[in-house]
Amino acid sequence: MRLVLIGPPGAGKGTQARLLGERYGIPQISTGEMLRDAQHAGTELGREAGRYMAEGRLVPDDIVIGIVDQRLANGDCRNGFILDGFPRTVAQARALDAMLERHGAALDAAVTVEVPRAELVERLAGRLVCGQCGAMYHRTFDPPKRPNACDRCGAVLAQREDDREDRIERRLDQLAKEVAPVAQYYRDAGLLRAIDGTGSRDAVLARILGSLPA
Ligand code: ADP
Ligand code: ADP
Ligand code: ZN
């Protein structure tokens, strides 16, 4: 299964990508996570990307396309992958098509996850992420068993810098509008599945699975 998940920040892409990856036994590839890793590692690419991420702006296409190209060449993607947060521009979507063609592969579907803006704000404001294994929680909707500790690995949970209350609205203004042209690109290709992203995680997962080719 080769899938891309697109949607605004807070739509649940990361959460669903993880569940789908486990279900199909294929890797979940999050460009946001890879960029944050590069930032923490302090590489030149990470520093460059960090300037855009702090402002809630898209990182330039050539940087993001480069890291995805490298990642998809890895052997663990041979049987499929779930891309989370990529593509976010039409140029990225075209680049992905070209990469897959080189590997003699094609996408099975592009899923957009739709959630009303007020709920996106709530989800982002309460999001907690494990600094070690990347597991995702929410202060109210999906709290960890022990306060601020990861259920999976015990490491400490933190709020992402770009999820700070004063940054959320601007980030949603910047990033939510990027979804429409990418969705249109996949609609034209006959690959788009538009999914209602409200309700429980499992309800959303069931909707996604129900929309996918067998
Ligand atoms: P969220 O989970 O809130 O949607 P991500 O973790 O996917 O956010 O992305 C975090 C940040 O990384 C984005 O705000 C953006 O700056 C950058 N980023 C992630 N994916 C891409 C992409 N495909 N193109 C450009 N920038 C990206
Ligand atoms: P994205 O990757 O699209 O930015 P995430 O998967 O990180 O979204 O989810 C954003 C926040 O919302 C996280 O705190 C997550 O725990 C929470 N969340 C995800 N799915 C749901 C859901 N169906 N209902 C309520 N909260 C959710
Ligand atoms: Zn963890």
Whole-Å CA distances, 166 to 55, 90, 115, 196: 11, 29, 20, 27
CA of 12 to the centre of ligand 2 (A): 4
Q: Which atom of ligand 2 is nearest to the CA of 84?
A: 2
Residue with tokens 């080189």, as numbered in its chain? 102
Which ligand is nearest to the Cα of residue 20, counting in written order? 2
pLDDT in tens, 65-92: 999 999 999 999 999 999 999 999 999 9
pLDDT score recorded for residue 56: 82
Phi/psi region, residue 54 (left: phi>0; alpha: psi -120 to 50; beta: rest), is alpha
46 lines ligand 1 (CB under 6 A): no
127 has catalytic annotation: yes
Which ligand is nearest to the Cα of residue 130, counting in written order? 3
Q: What is the pTM of this model?
A: 0.95
CA of 151 to the centre of ligand 3 (A): 7
pLDDT score recorded for residue 149: 96
160 has catalytic annotation: yes
Cα distance between residue 43 and residue 191, in whole Å: 36
Q: Which atom of ligand 1 is nearest to the CA of 85?
A: 7
pLDDT in tens, 146-196: 999 999 999 999 999 889 988 899 899 888 888 999 999 999 999 999 999
> Which regions of 61-147 does DSSP assign to beta strands (E)?
81-84, 109-114, 127-130, 136-138
Cα distance between residue 144 and residue 16, in whole Å: 18
**DSSP structural state of residue 77:** G
Residue whose CB lies within 8 A of the most ligand 1 atoms, among 88, 130, 167, for a mutation test:
88
The one-letter amino acid code at 209 reads: L
Enter the tokens of residue 121.
């704000």
- Counts for the chain of helices (H) and strands (E), in that order: 9, 8
pLDDT score recorded for residue 202: 97
171 has catalytic annotation: yes
CB 136 within 8 A of CB 19: no
pLDDT score recorded for residue 134: 86
CA-proximal residue: ligand 1, atom 3 (nearest): 9
> Which regions of 31-124 does DSSP assign to beta strands (E)?
81-84, 109-114
CA-proximal residue: ligand 1, atom 15 (nearest): 58
Does the pLDDT value for residue 214 go beyond 80? no
pLDDT score recorded for residue 66: 95
pLDDT score recorded for residue 26: 97
pLDDT score recorded for residue 213: 83
pLDDT in tens, 34-48: 999 999 899 999 999
88 has catalytic annotation: yes
Whole-Å CA distances, 33 to 46, 105, 136: 11, 24, 12
pLDDT in tens, 88-124: 999 999 999 999 999 899 999 999 999 999 999 999 9
pLDDT score recorded for residue 156: 96
pLDDT in tens, 14-35: 999 999 999 999 999 999 999 9
CA of 47 to the centre of ligand 1 (A): 15
pLDDT score recorded for residue 168: 92
